Structure 1
């Protein structure tokens, strides 16, 4: 089995900002969007641009609890919608790379089938 082609650092940065990768990297894109850890990678990529913005709040004079509260007013809804739109965003990225959006459903079904088989193995039901 040949190793999967990986994007260069420049391509990876472009990909993080929404750019479409060339066709020879579609296996990597598929793994990135549907493979193990895909949701974690998506959330980390979504939170990284927010860090400098939150750091700007530290320049505001005042008690730390007020600054922290202002940060939370931005962070909590951002994370909520980031998580809520995970499936939609990852499906959109598959479509933009001309990959089958049904991969999301198939991977999820495979995971559920594995969990069901493990449950039956452990508990005999």
Structure 2
């Protein structure tokens, strides 16, 4: 089985490598840019972090004990995973943009464009920010 590098989307092996932080071929840069900056990028990255955590914690739910004991074994571990995946989301996305030699500030640029209407409304209502 050969791995094609001319494709626009990664195959399964390339996708797993990408999820682990490896660089994809230049032919897939548009896909990478959309994955890291497009709609739902934050959600996708958080889910990618949650999958290994859930796989590690799932066996604890097979322990024959009360539900509250299972919850007390897993929830204190799961909460930091959720917290840190959200807190480090932009940092990881910027890192992956750098790995692919794309502009890491693209994330902020797109957010500013998305929120331009809110900022303009604020300026019209309260005036420009004093510097």
TM-score (norm 2): 0.81
Q: In angstroms, what is the RMSD of aligned CA positions?
A: 1.8
State how 1:26-65 maps to structure 2 within 5 Å.
26-65=29-68
Q: SS in structure 2 opposite 1:48?
A: helix
Runs of at least 5 residues in structure 1 that lack an aligned partner in the other structure: none
| Pick aligned residue for 1:88 from 88, 91, 95 | 91
Which of 101, 106, 109 is the equivalent residue of 2:109? Answer: 106
| Greater C-alpha radius of gyration | 2
Give 4+ residue runs of structure 1 displaced > 2 Å after superposition: 59-62, 114-117
Deviation for aligned residue 1:23: 0.9
CA distance in 2, matches of 1:115, 1:30: 25
> Which runs of no fewer than 5 residues in structure 2 stay unpaired?
1-6, 126-131
Given the two structures, how large is their TM-score scaled by the length of structure 1? 0.84
CA distance in 1, matches of 2:74, 2:118: 38
